[in-house]
Amino acid sequence: MSAANGTVLVTGGAGYVGGFAVRALLAAGERVVILDDLSTGHRENVPATVPLVVADLRDAAGVRSALADVQFDAVMHFAANAYVGESVRDPRKYWENNVGGTLNLLGLCLDRGVGAFVFSSTCAVYGEPPVPALREDLPRAPVNPYGRTKAVIEQVLEDYAAATGLRSFRLRYFNASGASEDGTLGEDHEPETHLIPLVLRAATTQSPLKVFGTDWATPDGTCVRDYVHVEDLASAHVAAIRRLRDGHAGGALNLGTGRGTSVKEIIEAAERVSGLTVPWTAAPRRDGDPPFLVAAPGRAAEVLGWAPRWTSIDRIVGSAWKWHQRGRSQP
């Protein structure tokens, strides 16, 4: 039986994955408080019933004072910078925010005796793995500053769990993608660097997509990724909070489908769901891109009873298409 509901502090709850997690928590009957600095999140993603604390995690004193009267028993921590390329150009931003900001948040959790922490990690902690399907027991070997900041916090969480009552799940996302079925919540980054939104943009503008590398050692020469729908990521987070409240020790879990899809296959899916052609040109490989990143997904199923429900790539791309069209139809 699940422990009673409580109040979950969701950092980055005005963002893409965090926004879906907030909706899933509310649907599961949890109380939610969002902390977000609105640097990349959007105020309109915050449901009217949910309190929003606008604060920057790098400002430890400011966050403590902003949360002084806010009670919470669990944390989902999404707030972070998440562009690989930017992390190479501006590592300070990543170390100060993703690591410095998270240490401030964790310090507050320790001081308040919070026992349940769910951390947004990433398959980037694996680096350029030598095996096709990634299991959680592979060593962490990130190859860029973004992945290193996430790997370091995973290590901090392990150290804290060994010595304190702060238990955590480190959820390693593969490629978060898609939008809500009703087209009201989706991916909205500026600048956009992710494949699916850029493919859909190419379909509507007819300005060619650059395909980064067509000569990889993959079946069709383009990179293969594991695209997992954000609603599935969100449901895993809710299950993780509940397992921690039930006393589970936590751990590192992949959140992926186990299914690989190439860049060309995403283009073809976008053409099917939109009825438009997607113009593209071959471009040089992008720095830091491993050719093949696909999850071995079994452990999350065992530990959380979680399995992705969005198993069709056409449905995932179709939901993003609906969101993309809605964005374009608004002033």
Annotated catalytic sites, by residue? 146
**To the nearest whole angstrom, how small is the minimum distance from the Cβ of residue 202 to ligand UDP?**
9
Site for ligand UDP in 259-288 (CB under 6 A): 263, 286
Residue from 31, 64, 135, 194 touching ligand UDP (CB under 6 A): that is 194
* Exposed e or buried b per residue across 287-296, where buried means at least 16 C-beta atoms within 10 angstroms of its C-beta: ebbbbbbbbb
Q: What is the DSSP-derived secondary structure letter of residue 80? A: S
Q: Which two tokens stand for residue 142?
A: 């990130």
Of 75, 25, 67, nearest in space to 46 by CA: 25
Count residues binding ligand UDP (CB under 6 A). Answer: 15
CA distance 151 to 81: 14
Of 204, 225, 164, 237, nearest in space to 325 by CA: 204
Residue from 45, 120, 121, 175 touching ligand UDP (CB under 6 A): that is 175
Residue from 38, 198, 296, 307 touching ligand UDP (CB under 6 A): that is 198
**Contact predicate 179/186, CB 8 Å:** yes
Q: Which is nearer to ligand UDP, 300 or 320 (CB)?
A: 320
| Interface region with ligand UDP, contact rule CB under 6 A, candidates 150-158, 205-213, 298-306, 317-325 | 205-213
What string of DSSP letters covers 24-78? Answer: HHHHTT-EEEEEE--SSS-GGGS-TTS-EEE--TT-HHHHHHHTTT---SEEEE-
Site for ligand UDP in 13-72 (CB under 6 A): none
Residue from 212, 218, 221, 307 touching ligand UDP (CB under 6 A): that is 212
| Interface region with ligand UDP, contact rule CB under 6 A, candidates 25-33, 101-109, 191-199, 318-326 | 191-199
Interface mask toward ligand UDP for 224-243; x: CB under 6 A: -x------------------
**To the nearest whole angstrom, how small is the minimum distance from the Cβ of residue 268 to ligand UDP?**
14
**To the nearest whole angstrom, how small is the minimum distance from the Cβ of residue 247 to ligand UDP?**
34
β partners of residue 210: 281
Q: Which is nearer to ligand UDP, 211 or 252 (CB)?
A: 211
Q: What angle do CA 280, 283, 285 make, to 5 degrees?
A: 130
Stretch (H or E) spanning 212: strand 209-212
- Is residue 223 close enough to count as binding ligand UDP by CB under 6 A? yes
Q: Which is nearer to ligand UDP, 117 or 292 (CB)?
A: 292
**191 prior amide bond cis, ω within 30:** yes
**To the nearest whole angstrom, how small is the minimum distance from the Cβ of residue 235 to ligand UDP?**
21
- Is residue 210 close enough to count as binding ligand UDP by CB under 6 A? yes
Residue owning tokens 């901090």 = 156
**Contact predicate 145/94, CB 8 Å:** yes
Q: Which is nearer to ligand UDP, 11 or 122 (CB)?
A: 122
Interface residues with ligand UDP (CB under 6 A) are 84, 175, 193-195, 198, 209-212, 223, 225, 263, 286, 289
